[in-house]
Structure 1
């Protein structure tokens, strides 16, 4: 049974957020910001480790970094005599007419000289404390600086949802004060608000809701408030509630004659189970009812108590696993890792199926034995089930999962137990890099090349690899970057190091485990298929491979870059393409099932429309579907091979919680012959029965307007090819393309990463693209096209004045997709040499040039610039 060690933590947090009340005022100014910069103040956190307590004869003030939309700065509050505050504590403070969360930065014995004492308000309460060690604060600060972001945005990414709460101003009717026919005595706006409240069962709405529903609602609220017909109040922030479970504890094992035979049986079973058990389990074991147990409590034999239990991702119970025997390359790599002390960066370059995960497992075992923890990051949520199962089979309950697909309660409780410092392995996606593990002994980035490690929204636009590198140095622990196709940044860093550098290492796993061969790769020219009269999306070679696979009782994977049925719908008479009304992209056709209503969907804003029966432009009935997605491949596969059972694995079929695990478990159990999917299945999938992999359309990866297109295409094709032949049977890969002569296709066919990377790096060097140069992409968006363009031009002009003549400023120019979700998009690309990084001015000053109606994002080291 889980202990109750976290109950006090939650009790303090809940009580702090449940006791707030306030009166609405028309306009209440927050405290005036203290003049020192947030950056300078935050650095003091590392220096001030002493616990401060207010003495009765000396007043203290606290500088707080507030969490409020549109506000970033330090605000001074005074410390009540009954509170204890430590730098780094999360506190609740009054801010205007609401109560919000903030971070205590430092304490002062004198207030700011330019701030009237009467305007300084008190800290309300301490929500929680003690989980921000010195290195953690330094990590957040460095990431904020590197990615040109405000510190609070980094803190919001690092903390679990619900920890920093915000109160909400609400309005409710005072029914006893409203006269009959009140609507006739007030303005039109006030009357609308009154009717809206009267039609609601409790006569209660938030101010934000009223503002969204009624234009000029604030004037109406003030009028109704002056008449005394409504009242305003602050609804406290709603913290995530602890999950409670009833425990039964035996307190008297001297069984007397007042017991029935059934009650005696229940007590005996309780005694045999150690004298304490969950009520639900006791009822199940005894096949009894809660009433029986409650009668035993009334007689004084047991007590019933509510205990908090931690909500964590519950995997499937795994049989105990033992370390595998390593081959020579694995053993050499493991020995090198275990000999490292302190900070170090290791590139573990292993071909697909070379046993990188087993090296991770055996490297982590002594870390846990030493009382430290390990952090393992994967790029996709879909990769966590298989990896978690392997880790739990080895380390049991010491393994936990942390990613955005967990419920808020699960993330909150997992985060809370991590700060306790117990040795454990945390497996998660990019946000888990901020997991608050006090004794971190090792960080692993599996598939380190994957672009999913880069955050695109919201800010900060961090890359988990960069954060891991910073954290490795601060925590003085090794970082392993594992991949079969390393990113060119990692490859260049390792291969051009000075000989005396002792913090970077290259370890190679050049062969598959048990000396299994890499799969053979066949390239099919789709132009020749058309010349032979084959108009199917499956080449003759792929069809033959699928038939043979079925006959041998084996399994296969079909990869297609896009989900949905068809890429776009076009009129064959006039060429009209059905487009999204909110974005400058075509709508994709989605097929659900036979006889279902045909739907068109936008993959950018999720707009959905019925498929027109005739062309909206010329009214022609001849509409044709172009392109192929996972739905169409599955549909065609069922028509051509009705005896093949297939599972579709893409973002449409994995929306529900646990869908990744369920679909992969079904496939691994042999319930399907074919797994059809997108990039989600190209990495980490290890099913021994898979012998055939088909890439239906490789051209969708090759021809993209981005300097990373070649690198991504090589990585994706190599990774998906690596899913084949992981068992006893040799794998076979068939890549269909209209460009068989493309250098990426040639390199994939030869399994030649080195020659591909050398060619690609040479092209990058000539154009001064990463890893030889640095990029910063400044992105603008807004609903008014002209205003967005003008803002971009103003910022570009300021950049020219701010930056050196050696820095290239490209743009401003419209984004490749100019409009998404009714918002117009422009951008500026800044290119500069690596050595100029330290001389760049603070780009955050550009934000002052941006009106509130235009959003500006500074994306440092962007992965996409199209």
Structure 2
């Protein structure tokens, strides 16, 4: 048998598989999707099996054998392997990159280099050192060399650390032995993680035998008697640590009884459980409103027909979308099929986990980045072993290795976090639709503020693009909250008027009074400021110098708790300045407002107020989101203050006030989606108020109260926003009226970067001229459009000491842009390798910075 293997080497040829012989002893374990260790040149590398065959077009005598299989069961199935091929072409990345993106970090093998005695050395294997001409030079020349070679031969292979521990200071001698060929490197593929093993104790005889045995023990063996009588009554296996703790017996006592043949101590594999010890109260399906029944019906009917279809569920905040998800999943499970649920924020996961585990119990696996490597490894294995039927997680959960997928739900489908910013730069929504089409599954995209691209695809006549069927997305609408609860009243506060009235506080008079009322009534408040840290930038009042990152063209953000200034792009951290780095003046001022500063101001204005701050700084530890939200739910705090992670999905019955400190933080960024992101953020955070019996109130503070995104958000009017935004996009030629590709080139030298950028843009234009006649054919109703803009300096022209230029492609119609980009990028492979030019291609980008 022969295997086609995509090998983990960062080179052009990795997009083609290499043939390897599958040894007879490994045939049982090698399947499509298996991770294997294969020889590649002088190294052993990880690879993925993407095909199996009984014959090969290569000379079989020259093929090498697969050396090792890294998993008992392939971590990927054939469908995912095919999906990786589609991702490679669509997102212009190597196939190995797409395959690696599909598996959790714990399954991404690491390479271990070990030192061995070179095979041709006479000391290795007992060969006569004088038996071959030219071999005498390989004989040990000193006692130190002899000792090192003998040590390595005895061990078989050793790591560098083992060698230097045994022979301190022998580094130079070791290097010389390697250069002379007396020692050699051997590279192996090693998993980062193994299955967790646990010692368990179980009876080795029936209850009657155990009771009888306990009676024959001497009077002094009380602990042994207790053990036997315990297992006579409880015959199920018990972990050794739990048993010794429960009965107060030592491991030696257990061992003694086991040696007599009455108990057995065995090693068992156990799954790491991130929710061990946490009970989830089981729940039953809730009665549905008329609108909920109306949207669930077509989803359930499509599941029954086992058709592929995409539904866009546009439901206002509090309309009960989650209950629709739960009941749709139940329909899917009743058919013996599986479901994936994607959420955009880790902060949403605790509440979703509680609701889904409460409904489906242990049939639910959870996949997100805040789990430990071991926990993610075991959740992944549970999926492969078919122990779970539902997966909840962030974007990478779309790659859960289900083989009978029936339903994919993407909650808050408009969120930019579904787009991965590292290669492969995939969008989970598009991957979900492609995967569901392959398996005949249903996709439900849910949001109170759908992305314009999704909404346009679901509404006939609303900016449908060439080659796409607008009816391929079916629009489902829920326009009312559960039980007819009203949407919150929204007040837009003009901060310019507040300044004119002499109010220089970060809280308007209306918001201040509203917070005061909630404190009196023992109700809760959510405050949003989409900016972490204490101050946006640090400036000298004497000379105007702004403290910037020395490696990136961006100002540093001040964090008061640690008294440091940080770059949120390269991670640089340095102490706060006491004097100006430029003029040495002591007149340093902190401008702008961050979450830390808002927290400090709340403490000054409302003595005794209890504030929970949620941002990247306070949620870095494992389980931090869950702990903070649990404290807020149990009313251990009056205010939940945070960045956009508090803006969506959270549901607390006593939250009756939402305050947006500054609605303009996103609005004026150089991004054509700025208005859309502002509308979505304001609408989502406003939806946190008044979700239960108590009515809600919202204050939006802004310097641009007349902007249509703020006006329409305050009126809960998605359709009015849609009309204004679509007209702007149509006039300027932005999605959904076209597709975009962003190409970013970076290098340490500007002249080389400029030349490369101009050459890349020129090649793209030349390639389009070759493709234009073909693109214009095929009965297209509209002339295909393709335009290259740039190269120009990126909005942030330097990051990590590398200068950045970018080109933008706009296109629509029958344009094979993937093939054109792949061809153009391939022409730069030599420049990339030789001159360390970096090229990033982002298809349908979400971030243009």
> TM-score, normalized by length of structure 1?
0.85
Indicate if the aligned counterparts of 1:312 and 1:411 stay in contact, CA closer than 8 A. no
Q: 1:624 to 1:112 in 2, by over 3 A?
A: same
1:863 aligns with 2:817: no
CA distance in 1, matches of 2:759, 2:838: 14
- 1:74 Cα deviation after fit: 2.2
Deviation (angstroms), 1:759? 1.4
Corresponding position: 1:78 with 2:21: yes
CA shift for structure 1 position 131: 5.3
- State which of 149, 154, 165 in structure 1 corresponds to 2:109: 165
2:157 corresponds in structure 1 to: none
Gaps of 5+ in 2: 124-138, 146-159, 773-784
- 8 Å contact kept, 2:45–2:111: yes
Give how far 1:63 is off: 2.9
Q: Secondary structure at 2:294's aligned position in 1?
A: helix
- How many Å separate the matches in 2 of 1:474 and 1:140? 13
Q: What does the per-residue CA deviation read over 1:246-297, in whole Å, with 9 as the maximum and x for residues that have no partner?
A: 1111122212223344433333333333432222332333233323322221
172 and 644 in structure 1: CA distance in 2 versus 1, 3 angstrom threshold: farther
Q: How does 1:118-129 map to 2 (within 5 A)?
A: 119-128=62-71, 129=73
Sort the Cα spacing of 1:532 and 1:367 in 2 relative to 1 into closer, same or farther, 3 A. same
Q: Which residue of 2 aligns with 1:460?
A: 424
Shift in alpha-carbon separation, 1:226–1:676, aligned structure 2, 3 A: closer
How far did 1:162 drift?
4.0
**Is the Cα contact below 8 Å between 2:537 and 2:558 reproduced in 1?**
yes
Residue 221 of structure 1 and its aligned partner are, at CA, apart by: 7.8
Pair 1:398 & 2:363 matched: yes
- Does residue 522 in structure 1 map to residue 503 in structure 2? no
Change (3 A) 1:839 1:161: closer
Alignment partners' CA distance in 2, 1:748 and 1:588: 29
What corresponds to 1:854 in structure 2? 837
Look up the match of 1:21.
none
Q: 1:149 to 1:203 in 2, by over 3 A?
A: farther
How much does 1:471 deviate?
A: 1.1
Q: Which string of whole-angstrom CA distances, capped at 9 and with x for unpartnered residues, describes residues 63-119 of structure 1?
A: 321112335132233333443144443322101222112123334566546x6x664
Length, aligned pairs only: 776
Secondary structure of the structure 1 residue equivalent to 2:432: helix
Q: Is the 8 A contact 1:781 1:856 kept in 2?
A: yes
Mapped to 2, the partners of 1:718 and 1:673 lie a distance apart of 22
CA contact (8 A) 1:694 1:734 kept: yes
Q: Secondary structure at the match of 2:789?
A: strand
Encode CA deviations 1:179-228: one digit per residue, 9 max, x unaligned: 5999xxxxxxxxxxxxx98995356999xxx9xxxxxx9xx987442457
Would you say 1:67 and 2:12 are equivalent positions? no
Alpha carbons of 1:810 and 1:351: their partners in 2 closer, same or farther (altered >3 Å)? same
**1:250 alignment partner in structure 2:** 203
Corresponding residue number in structure 1 for 2:327:
362
Matched, 1:561 2:524: no
Q: How does 1:688-727 map to 2 (within 5 A)?
A: 688-727=653-692
Distance 1:300 1:241 in 2: 31
User: What SS class does the counterpart of residue 820 from structure 2 fall into?
Assistant: coil
- Contact 1:100–1:164 under 8 Å retained in 2: no
1:144 aligned residue: 88
**Residue 382 of structure 2: aligned partner:** 417
Distance change in 2, residues 1:134/1:111 (3 Å): closer
Distance 1:540 1:243 in 2: 57
Per mean C-alpha deviation after superposition, the further-off stretch among 324-333 and 227-236 is 227-236
Which residue of the partner structure matches residue 136 of structure 2? none
Residue 606 of structure 1 is matched in structure 2 by: 571
- Residues 535, 391 of structure 1: alpha-carbon distance in 2 compared, 3 angstrom cutoff: same
* Structure-2 change in CA distance of 1:618 and 1:361 (3 Å): same
Tell me if 1:481 matches 2:439: no
Match of 1:570 in 2: 539
Match of 2:480 in 1: 511
Equivalent in 694, 704, 708 of residue 739 of structure 1: 704
- 582-591 vs 404-413, which moves further: 404-413
Q: Which residue in the other structure is 1:775 paired with?
A: 740
| CA distance 1:309–1:109, shift in 2 (3 Å) | closer
Q: 1:432 to 1:74 in 2, by over 3 A?
A: same
Q: d(CA) in 2 for partners of 1:82 and 1:173? A: 27
Decide whether the 8 Å contact of 2:768 with 2:786 is kept in 1. Answer: yes
Secondary structure class of the residue paired with 1:729: coil
CA deviation after TM superposition for structure 1 residue 172, in Å: 8.7
The answer to whether the Cα contact below 8 Å between 1:346 and 1:506 also exists between their aligned partners in 2 is yes
Q: CA deviation at 1:171?
A: 5.3
> Is 1:812 matched with 2:823?
no
Is 1:101 the counterpart of 2:66 in the alignment? no
Does the C-alpha gap of structure 1 residues 640 and 360 become closer, same or farther in structure 2, counting only changes over 3 Å?
same
Q: Is the 8 A contact 2:457 2:472 kept in 1?
A: no
Aligned to 2:394: 429
Retained in 2: the 8 A contact 1:372–1:423? no
Is 2:266 aligned against 1:321?
no
> Which residue of 1 is the match for residue 126 of structure 2?
none
Distance in 2, matches of 1:204 and 1:818, equals 48
Find the counterpart in structure 2 of residue 828 from structure 1: 807
SS at match of 1:308: strand
8 Å CA contact 1:63–1:104 kept in 2: the answer is yes
Aligned to 1:286: 247
Aligned counterpart, 1:39: none
- Choose from 350, 356, 368 the match for 1:385: 350
User: Using the alignment, how far apart are the partners of 1:730 and 1:738 within structure 2?
Assistant: 27
Q: CA deviation at 1:823?
A: 1.7
Listed as ranges, the gaps of 5+ residues in structure 1 are 1-53, 55-60, 183-195, 211-216
TM-score (norm 2): 0.87
